[in-house]
Amino acid sequence: MSSSEEQEQRTELAARFWNTRHMDPAGEAHDNFLNHPLIQAYTSMRAFDGTLIGHLDALIAELGRRTQPGDLIVSVGCGLGEKERILAAGLPDRRIKGIDIAADIVSKACEEVASKGITNLELAVGDFNRLELESSSCRVILGMGAIHHIEALEEFWQTGRAALLPGGCVIGQEYVGPNRFQWTDDQITAANHALAKIVPQEHQVDHREVERVAVETIVSLDPSEAVRSAEILSTCKSAGFDVSAYAGAGCALLQPILMRQIHTFDPRDWRHNRVLAELFEEEDRLMRAGVLQDDFAMFAAIPPS
């Protein structure tokens, strides 16, 4: 099988996975630990100098500053387009276009957009490994938890560079940690120590120990998962982009512990919140000691002129 046929097969499998996953509200809630309000607050305070601003509010402010009325903002890997709907409402005189490979999800999302009468948001099926964007057509290319699913990163930066209008940029709110969630030894040691010391057993519903899941297992479920996450910023810089803004959001301790377990933390339960606060303190301590680095980051990258 040629490598392009293999990539085609991986893309089909990823589309199947996400067509199902996005339809399952439990799946979304279980996996996306960043949606928990306390995690949002913690990551925002890390990234935005102690400010308690939501990730999307920060993005709306940033996009407002970096675009003009009428400008097009392209969001790759938009899924159900829920975040794009919020951006469209917050930036009513900008045009937003989301693309995603999961066709069933895109069609459901399009119905939702039409039924709500949103006129500045378009959603379409598209493959970000073969990104097709008209040259000089958009002011911002956006990745919200999506660039870490791109395998053809070099082509992505090249196409992005050609598509961006003068003054444009790529903005990411992304997982930038180890490829395929292959946690470092330091992460595994720290996470297991924190799990045992801080996290009561009632929250250890998926795992009592943090281990590296075999790459083949991850690939067999979703071949796009964290495919080259750790290379996002290096390939961006190699393509000549200037990472003019970068804000680390931590999570190298939190994610291995909380993924698939975050749903056991009820934001209205102060005992649960106290556990999270202790985890925040521990992650902060380990980051200050240089043991852990940022696994999530927000960044803006300006293409070479």
- 3-class secondary-structure state, position 269: coil
Torsion of Cα atoms, 64 then 238 then 99 then 95, to 10°: 20
Cβ 270 to ligand SAM shortest distance, Å: 28
**Which CB sits closer to ligand SAM, 78 or 301?**
78
Shortest distance in whole angstroms from residue 77 CB to ligand SAM: 3
Could you give the C-alpha distances from 254 to 33, 83, 263, 274, in angstroms and in order?
9, 23, 14, 14
Beta bridge partners of 125: 100
Say whether residue 18 binds ligand SAM (CB under 6 A). yes
149 scored as a contact of ligand SAM (CB under 6 A)? yes
In the complex, the smallest distance separating the C-beta of residue 76 from ligand SAM, rounded to whole angstroms, is: 6
Give least dist CB 227 to ligand SAM, A: 9
Binding of ligand SAM at residue 298 (CB under 6 A)? no
Select 149 or 228, whichever has its Cβ closest to ligand SAM: 149
Q: How far is the CB of 94 from ligand SAM (least distance, A)?
A: 18
CB 187 within 8 A of CB 253: yes
Residue 146 found at the interface with ligand SAM (CB under 6 A) = yes
- Interface pattern 27-66 for ligand SAM (x via CB under 6 A): ----------------------------------------
Please report how close the Cβ of residue 34 comes to ligand SAM at its closest, in angstroms: 9
CA–CA separation, 104 and 129 (whole Å): 19
Question: Which has the closest alpha carbon to 300: 134, 129, 167?
Answer: 167
- 55 burial type by CB count under 10 A (0-12 exposed, 13-18 middle, 19+ buried): buried
Residues contacting residue 101 through CB under 8 Å, at least 6 positions apart: 11, 14, 15, 18, 77, 125, 126, 127, 128
Residue with tokens 């305070």: 45
Residue 229 binds to ligand SAM (criterion: CB under 6 A): no
Count of residues that bind ligand SAM according to CB under 6 A: 18
Q: Which residue has the tokens 């902060």?
A: 284
Q: What is the dihedral of CA 28, 227, 181, 219, to 10 degrees?
A: 80
Q: Say how far apart CA 221 and CA 272 lie, in whole Å.
A: 31
85 scored as a contact of ligand SAM (CB under 6 A): no
Binding segment toward ligand SAM, per CB under 6 A, in 61-69, 73-81, 231-239, 249-257: 73-81
* Residue among 102, 169, 176, 199 that touches ligand SAM (CB under 6 A): 102
Binding range to ligand SAM, per CB under 6 A, among 39-47, 50-58, 94-102, 200-208: 94-102
Is 11 a binding residue for ligand SAM by CB under 6 A? The answer is: yes
CA of 157: how far to CAs of 94, 139, 247, 278, in Å?
A: 23, 14, 20, 39
Q: Which is nearer to ligand SAM, 16 or 193 (CB)?
A: 16
Interacting residues with ligand SAM (CB under 6 A) = 11, 14, 18, 77-79, 83, 100-102, 127-129, 144-146, 149, 224
